[in-house]
Chains A and B, each alone.
Chain A
Amino acid sequence: MEEVTAATQRKMIHSLFLINCSGDIFLEKHWKSVVSQSVCDYFFEAQEKAADVENVPPVISTPHHYLISIYRDKLFFVSVIQTEVPPLFVIEFLHRVADTFQDYFGECSEAAIKDNVVIVYELLEEMLDNGFPLATESNILKELIKPPTILRSVVNSITGSSNVGDTLPTGQLSNIPWRRAGVKYTNNEAYFDVVEEIDAIIDKSGSTVFAEIQGVIDACIKLSGMPDLSLSFMNPRLLDDVSFHPCIRFKRWESERVLSFIPPDGNFRLISYRVSSQNLVAIPVYVKHSISFKENSSCGRFDITIGPKQNMGKTIEGITVTVHMPKVVLNMNLTPTQGSYTFDPVTKVLTWDVGKITPQKLPSLKGLVNLQSGAPKPEENPSLNIQFKIQQLAISGLKVNRLDMYGEKYKPFKGVKYVTKAGKFQDNQYQLGS
């Protein structure tokens, strides 16, 4: 088109910098010529401007480069781009890198990355060639580069053997790029976790403004050979919008609503789904709370009670209530009937770890709020975020019907677990007392 393009280096991801929360660049990797660290100054500038890490814009334009970054586990992954590229492409890729670190090292932290810098480098080398993703499937990467284990690192240090696979990966070359060949287990197992999250916004009158159920099915498959699985549901029509792992045969789902796939080895997310919003979402808990401040006084009263509601006969556990209190709140002096609470006077976040609900005695948290003296009474009452968990229940009613295996002869152990959690569950404030 233009000669301009000929002169520029069109490539997707040029360099990657890993930056920790205190602004140290602790790892850099270049896929072409070296870009000076100073390019990150633009990033630091944006970070300063944003005040909050969450608000650092993912895309920053600098005179010669573009910086696309993600924030994961208290680390910034900052990639340097020189030319037009779909930003989501880079963002997805960076998340995939972070996922891979998580997968390899158990956590995606500065310490883990520094401890395994050689593996990190080898991984990055395999994942990207000339700025274009090459091998991003965990199954393939693990064949190329073995994840570190304590035992292996001890053995390696004695024998000097390597953690680079000397067998060559087969998956990359096959038609099933997500699965490695020659998998063998003595116990063949296939477990599925159906995890559903309720996203809800509840207004001050207690009525639901918005609620929907988002679910995922995570699989842990340890099966020998090349199993071909079919997972069917009792009520597949519930699933309104589904996104698939690449292993799932789309046509089969379209025609029969059956998930048919040759799974990757190990843990992976099979599908994510949304339950159609026409179905009324049952809200399993309710919260009553009041916060009142007296005019011209540096004191206020605070009171929350939680109770079960539509819990389908299951116990609601792991309840946590988080409240972002107004800035003028100095301290809180509360008494919980059960569980424990903390108030962080710096971030003004009140966290109440409630635990289980027993219907006989509803948990409550009451007490006094101390305000900065002289400050005006807070304009707004805070909103509450509630977390909970219900075991053995998929709130949408989704049920796995059966799992069949073809292609292999052994009988696997199969299991399905259901969990319902609060997702983004937010109770917007009532305005009591004023």
Chain B
Amino acid sequence: MSSNSFAYNEQSGGGEATELGQEATSTISPSGAFGLFSSDMKKNEDLKQMLESNKDSAKLDAMKRIVGMIAKGKNASELFPAVVKNVASKNIEIKKLVYVYLVRYAEEQQDLALLSISTFQRALKDPNQLIRASALRVLSSIRVPIIVPIMMLAIKEASADLSPYVRKNAAHAIQKLYSLDPEQKEMLIEIIEKLLKDKSTLVAGSVVMAFEEVCPDRIDLIHKNYRKLCNLLVDVEEWGQVVIIHMLTRYARTQFVSPWREGDVLEDNEKDFYDSDEEQKEKADKRKRPYAMDPDHRLLIRNTKPLLQSRNAAVVMAVAQLYWHIAPKSEAGIISKSLVRLLRSSREVQYIVLQNIATMSIQRKGMFEPYLKSFYVRSTDPTMIKILKLEILTNLANEANISTLLREFQTYVKSQDKQFAAATIQTIGRCATSITEVSDTCLNGLVCLLSNRDEIVVAESVVVIKKLLQMQPMQHGEIIKHMAKLLDSITVPVARASILWLIGENCERVPKIAPDVLRKTAKSFTSEDDLVKLQILNLGAKLYLTNSKQTKLLTQYILNLGKYDQNYDIRDRTRFIRQLIVPNEKSGALSKYAKKIFLAQKPAPLLESPFKDRDHFQLGTLSHTLNTKATGYLELSNWPEVAPDPSVRNVEVIELAKEWTPAGKAKKENPDKKFYSESEEEEDSSESSSDSESESGSESGEDGEDEEDDHSGDSAEDSGESGSEPEAGKGRAATRSRARGRGDSKDVDKEKENSKTSESSSGESSSIEESSSDSESESESESESESRKVTKEKKKKTKQERNPLTKDVSLLDLDDFNLVSTPVALPTPALSPSLIADLEGLNLSATSSVISVSTPVFVPGKTHVLLHRMSGKGLAAHYFFPRQPCIFGDKMVSVQITLNNTTDQKIENIHVGGKKLPMGMQMHVFNPIESLEPAGSITVSMGIDFCDSTQTASFQLCTKDDCFSVNIQPPVGELLLPVAMSEKDFKKEQGMLSGMNETSTMIIAAPQNFASSVILQKIVNVANVGVVPSGQDNIHRFAAKTVHSGSLMLVTVELKEGSTAQLIINTEKTVIGSVLLRELKPVLSQG
């Protein structure tokens, strides 16, 4: 063994030897096999033994040392077999460290790595979401091509996981798999498409990241998710926000027309799907107007604005670049303040932000002018920051502020930081050229600097003066003379070269000095820098042409020196000049023009900002910082001339149910239209925005149909909030209502068309009724947006029932919906009440209205049997109250029914048959289910209006062959919707509901039952009420409203001395009030 390895060592030559040498110096060497290093071998043996011991502490110690080796960049791959055995360790820390090891070395030891795979596969099925997530993370980080199919499968499964955290990790895994095997692209895109539909804020950032990596060109995948992403943005974690904003910036540049060309007649809404319709075209022409921003474009700009106040500089910068690239120029101003704020951060942040400001300040000076002083340089700034600030100051300089700036520059010139001083001089030069009023002042100042003691300052001044004089050479003979004198003292080559050039150019203006200068430099020619030598040659040539009498010999002398110079550039130049200026037989034609060639009027150099050409890169990108295209940079496209079809962002939705409200109602509701559209206008005006799109939306429909238009815009909007909410005018609610206003005008035509054809269709008009009443009475909390979104989608679905194509999609969407809203996905009761109570507070603070519906505090998982499998011939049905606002009507209670097929045959055509409902009660049934596979299960939603009573809804559940009578009797607590209100409002409302409207009772129970969390848990378990924050420890308050009539239901539990408490219920609906009291009493007194 030892001789073998020795031989190998000799063979392998230098590379191996050095590597061994390195290892030998380290304390732990992996190359234990080599006999030469037997002491090291022992160490590794030692680790192996520890890993194989029975004690976790020894294993842990060993793993820690191994991780230490990895961290130092030492090779520990040898230990792979010993480590991988511990992958299934029970000890979490050992396990984690093994993961670290695996991820690092799996690539090198592929066969052995496979041993660990089954452990992860098992963990992927673990009931704990965190274990599933971490298994997926490690599995996908093992870069072993052979497991690609396993990874694919795992990602697919995880992307449909109930836990958003697991789905987030699935999104991360997509990128890993893609880089391991790009062949999988198509399949991965499918998963991305699916995850993009995810409504969780946790997933959004990660999946957009995956999108950007795998298929950034598939912009079509974004359309349907655009509005959702805009609306979720504020709640996404910081890092996700950055990625999403960058992606949406690119998106906006491809989908919207430029907002920068004011007064352009551009946005034609009629580029749409019904181009055959004549009438519509007319309408569109009428509505042709100057540029109007697409509501979706506006949505993005509005929803990113709050993020300017993020603590994360990357987020602020991302928003800033978004405003820069896609907002109207008049609105981009708001970003300056935030960017200036970032200048307080670390030098690295300052560096990047200043670079971006530099680019911006070239194009739009005005934006940063108010912050001029924030860019003043401090002596403690690092040089790179100073130079960037200087750059910005130069860009901002104008007639008004130049005198202040010049005073400031004067201080800078004296800086001990010479690089900075030199840059300041350049800056002064630039100011002199850009602001003609001060060019003389600047020039004088620069001339003064020529007598500075510091050579670098003088040299830089010379160079700048040269440039300035080139622009206006007439008046400055004196300065040139002064500079000629400097030649004696100054040694910096660039400066000397500049002076010589200047004298050469102006040799006719300083006829006495020029030949003298040439004489002096001829003397020193051999010791000059190459740069200077070239200029001496030039000077000689120019003088030869203008003043050959005095300088002929001198020039020839110089040309001779140049001929034998070591530098070939100089030899070349010498040869060239000699041929050109010294007439001889060979050089006929050109030498005639020698004077013209040498003394031609030369264009003055442009003193430009180095940031001038950076603006073609998207701001905030790496490419912008480097000023070169970085790998993977995605170009920001130019605005399209004509906006692509905006309707692609409308969320296509599916049919869920037919005819679910009586037709008669629609007409009755029509007068409401006025109210509705007015409220919408109000919202718009509260936005203080310049255009009045919503008006055009509501005006365009002249009859009852425009209500429908509103509705269509509404449902097209997937923002997930209800119609005109009381909290309108604030934040997102307003955003979307406004966007809807716009949506209207666009969808008007389409909807008109729709309603024309189906004006008499009852389903159609009733849906309108639903939507408008919905929007009047409800205000939704943001956290509820998911369910509301679904609501909207479904409304839309009902509207588009004629479209068979969308129906196919519908089933998929339905699955999605179930995933999100089934009780399983909700937080477990054990931890959630307090947490949700906080969310409650959050909702409360977000709205100022007294009564607003909030999210349910708690959703009990309790299901009720609707149909037992024995009596249902194998069809079993359970129902459950998801406590979500009903999507079929705001007076309905939503009920979810889970159907199970326990037979071994398909059950076909499951539907609701005859209904036997008490007076006034209404029911919206689910769509017939075509078939249910054996052992299959499906969950459907229904809405039942119980008219605020606990009466039973009876109906028949039918299959192809049978009908079963079933009943749903609601517990009184499910007839409520939670309400968020403040303590003050609660007391006020309670005061108004006294006397007849108050019922109360005493409760006696053990003290432990009166812990606040216990009471809360018990009450929300029974009734769907909201928690009212209470300032007193002994009083608990809950508020809700009845679903049908919206009457308030106030519950108070007041703890008294001893183990008694008083339960008080205040409500107009005294009947259900007392029923609730009866139900709550035993619950609270139980142990």
Please report A residues at the B interface, Cβ cutoff 8 Å.
Answer: 1, 4-11, 25-30, 32-34, 37, 52, 54-55, 57-59, 61, 66, 69-72, 81-89, 91-93, 95, 117-118, 120-122, 125, 129-130, 132-134, 136, 159-160, 162-164, 166, 168-170, 172-177, 181-182, 201, 203, 209-210, 212, 214, 225-226, 228, 230, 240-246, 249-252, 254-255, 260, 262, 269, 272, 274, 277, 324, 326-327, 376, 379-380, 382-383, 385, 406-407, 409-410, 424, 426, 428
Select which of A1, A88, A269 is within 8 A of B349 by beta carbon.
A88
Docked complex Cα distance between A165 and B48 (Å): 26
The answer to whether A424 and B378 touch across the interface, beta carbons within 8 angstroms, is: yes
The answer to whether B837 and A245 touch across the interface, beta carbons within 8 angstroms, is: no
Residues in A neighbouring B452, C-beta threshold 8 A: 379
- Known contacts A8-B631, A84-B631, then 14 further A-B pairs from the complex at CB < 8 Å, ordered by chain A residue: A6-B182, A58-B352, A70-B346, A70-B348, A84-B623, A88-B620, A91-B352, A133-B239, A162-B92, A210-B373, A226-B835, A243-B309, A249-B846, A426-B379
Docked complex Cα distance between A183 and B100 (Å): 30
Lowest 8 A-B CB distances belong to which pairs? A160-B57, A83-B632, A162-B93, A54-B382, A380-B414, A406-B1029, A58-B348, A228-B841
The answer to whether B352 and A87 touch across the interface, beta carbons within 8 angstroms, is: yes
Select which of A34, A251, A324 is within 8 A of B730 by beta carbon.
A251
The answer to whether B731 and A170 touch across the interface, beta carbons within 8 angstroms, is: no
Residues in B neighbouring A250, C-beta threshold 8 A: 234, 306, 309, 731
Task: Judge whether B875 is part of the interface by a CB distance below 8 angstroms.
Answer: no
Nearest CB in chain A: distance from B423 CB, A: 13
The answer to whether A159 and B57 touch across the interface, beta carbons within 8 angstroms, is: yes
With A82-B631, A163-B93, A324-B379 given, is the CB distance from A243 to B176 under 8 Å?
no
The answer to whether A118 and B64 touch across the interface, beta carbons within 8 angstroms, is: yes
Docked complex Cα distance between A249 and B137 (Å): 32
Task: Judge whether B630 is part of the interface by a CB distance below 8 angstroms.
Answer: yes
Task: Judge whether B71 is part of the interface by a CB distance below 8 angstroms.
Answer: yes
The answer to whether A118 and B67 touch across the interface, beta carbons within 8 angstroms, is: yes
Q: Which one of B312-320, B580-588, B741-749, B1000-1008 is at the interface?
A: B312-320
Report the number of A-B residue pairs with Cβ-Cβ less than 8 Å.
Answer: 303
Q: Which one of B149-157, B336-344, B522-530, B652-660 is at the interface?
A: B336-344
Select which of A84, A209, A244 is within 8 A of B633 by beta carbon.
A84
- A83's nearest neighbour on chain B, judged by CB, is B632
- A163's nearest neighbour on chain B, judged by CB, is B93
Give the interface SS of chain B, mostly helix, strand, loop or mixed.
helix
Residues in A neighbouring B620, C-beta threshold 8 A: 86-88
* Interface set, chain B 341-357, CB cutoff 8 A to A: 341, 344, 346-349, 351-353
With A226-B835, A424-B378 given, is the CB distance from A5 to B632 under 8 Å?
yes
The answer to whether A11 and B179 touch across the interface, beta carbons within 8 angstroms, is: yes
Nearest CB in chain A: distance from B529 CB, A: 22
Task: Judge whether B147 is part of the interface by a CB distance below 8 angstroms.
Answer: no
- B99's nearest neighbour on chain A, judged by CB, is A125
Most buried by A among B91, B173, B340, B414: B414
Task: Judge whether B621 is part of the interface by a CB distance below 8 angstroms.
Answer: yes
- B827's nearest neighbour on chain A, judged by CB, is A174
Docked complex Cα distance between A254 and B352 (Å): 29
- A244's nearest neighbour on chain B, judged by CB, is B309
18 contacts between A and B (CB under 8 A): A52-B382, A57-B384, A86-B317, A87-B620, A89-B314, A92-B314, A130-B175, A132-B172, A133-B239, A160-B57, A164-B92, A173-B129, A181-B835, A201-B376, A214-B344, A255-B730, A272-B341, A326-B416
Most buried by A among B67, B234, B309: B309
Nearest CB in chain A: distance from B228 CB, A: 17
The answer to whether B73 and A379 touch across the interface, beta carbons within 8 angstroms, is: no
Contact code string B110-137 (vs A, CB < 8 Å = 1, else 0): 0000000000000000001110000001
The answer to whether B625 and A87 touch across the interface, beta carbons within 8 angstroms, is: yes
With A1-B634, A118-B64 given, is the CB distance from A379 to B414 under 8 Å?
yes
With A10-B179, A241-B338 given, is the CB distance from A88 to B93 under 8 Å?
no
Nearest CB in chain A: distance from B651 CB, A: 24
The answer to whether A130 and B453 touch across the interface, beta carbons within 8 angstroms, is: no
Give the interface SS of chain A, mostly helix, strand, loop or mixed.
mixed
Docked complex Cα distance between A72 and B346 (Å): 9
The answer to whether A245 and B163 touch across the interface, beta carbons within 8 angstroms, is: no
Docked complex Cα distance between A424 and B141 (Å): 46
Residues in A neighbouring B346, C-beta threshold 8 A: 70, 72, 91, 95
Docked complex Cα distance between A5 and B214 (Å): 8
Docked complex Cα distance between A428 and B412 (Å): 10
Select which of A86, A117, A260, A382 is within 8 A of B314 by beta carbon.
A86
Residues in B neighbouring A410, C-beta threshold 8 A: 1033
Nearest CB in chain B: distance from A48 CB, A: 15
- A408's nearest neighbour on chain B, judged by CB, is B834
Nearest CB in chain B: distance from A62 CB, A: 11
Residues in A neighbouring B444, C-beta threshold 8 A: none
Residues in A neighbouring B99, C-beta threshold 8 A: 125
Residues in A neighbouring B668, C-beta threshold 8 A: none
With A162-B92, A164-B93, A327-B416 given, is the CB distance from A5 to B242 under 8 Å?
no
Select which of A28, A87, A380 is within 8 A of B416 by beta carbon.
A380
The answer to whether A86 and B378 touch across the interface, beta carbons within 8 angstroms, is: no
Residues in A neighbouring B239, C-beta threshold 8 A: 89, 93, 132-133, 136
Select which of B213, B238, B831 is within 8 A of A11 by beta carbon.
B213
Docked complex Cα distance between A429 and B97 (Å): 57
The answer to whether A33 and B831 touch across the interface, beta carbons within 8 angstroms, is: no
Residues in B neighbouring A5, C-beta threshold 8 A: 213, 216, 632
Nearest CB in chain A: distance from B733 CB, A: 10
The answer to whether B848 and A255 touch across the interface, beta carbons within 8 angstroms, is: yes
Select which of B172, B234, B353, B382 is within 8 A of A130 by beta carbon.
B172
Residues in B neighbouring A241, C-beta threshold 8 A: 337-338, 340-341
Docked complex Cα distance between A378 and B60 (Å): 63
- A54's nearest neighbour on chain B, judged by CB, is B382
- B68's nearest neighbour on chain A, judged by CB, is A117
- B234's nearest neighbour on chain A, judged by CB, is A250
* Interface set, chain B 167-194, CB cutoff 8 A to A: 169, 172-173, 175-176, 179, 182, 185
With A52-B382, A91-B349, A407-B841 given, is the CB distance from A244 to B310 under 8 Å?
yes
The answer to whether B376 and A175 touch across the interface, beta carbons within 8 angstroms, is: no
- B730's nearest neighbour on chain A, judged by CB, is A251
Nearest CB in chain A: distance from B899 CB, A: 30
- A64's nearest neighbour on chain B, judged by CB, is B631
Residues in A neighbouring B175, C-beta threshold 8 A: 10-11, 130, 132
The answer to whether A57 and B730 touch across the interface, beta carbons within 8 angstroms, is: no
The answer to whether A1 and B217 touch across the interface, beta carbons within 8 angstroms, is: yes
The answer to whether B312 and A92 touch across the interface, beta carbons within 8 angstroms, is: yes
Contact code string B402-435 (vs A, CB < 8 Å = 1, else 0): 0000001001001110000000000000000000
Nearest CB in chain A: distance from B261 CB, A: 27
Nearest CB in chain A: distance from B632 CB, A: 3
Task: Judge whether B845 is part of the interface by a CB distance below 8 angstroms.
Answer: yes
The answer to whether B67 and A209 touch across the interface, beta carbons within 8 angstroms, is: no
- A94's nearest neighbour on chain B, judged by CB, is B348
Residues in B neighbouring A91, C-beta threshold 8 A: 313-314, 346, 348-349, 352
Residues in B neighbouring A89, C-beta threshold 8 A: 239, 242, 314
Docked complex Cα distance between A399 and B626 (Å): 45
Residues in A neighbouring B91, C-beta threshold 8 A: 162
Select which of A1, A121, A406 is within 8 A of B216 by beta carbon.
A1
Task: Judge whether B1054 is part of the interface by a CB distance below 8 angstroms.
Answer: no
Residues in B neighbouring A385, C-beta threshold 8 A: 379-380
Residues in B neighbouring A379, C-beta threshold 8 A: 414, 452-454
The answer to whether B165 and A66 touch across the interface, beta carbons within 8 angstroms, is: no
- A216's nearest neighbour on chain B, judged by CB, is B344
Task: Judge whether B842 is part of the interface by a CB distance below 8 angstroms.
Answer: yes
Docked complex Cα distance between A162 and B213 (Å): 37
- A172's nearest neighbour on chain B, judged by CB, is B165
Task: Judge whether B96 is part of the interface by a CB distance below 8 angstroms.
Answer: yes
The answer to whether B1033 and A409 touch across the interface, beta carbons within 8 angstroms, is: yes
Most buried by B among A86, A159, A212, A327: A86
Task: Judge whether B331 is part of the interface by a CB distance below 8 angstroms.
Answer: no
With A6-B185, A91-B313 given, is the CB distance from A84 to B1029 under 8 Å?
no
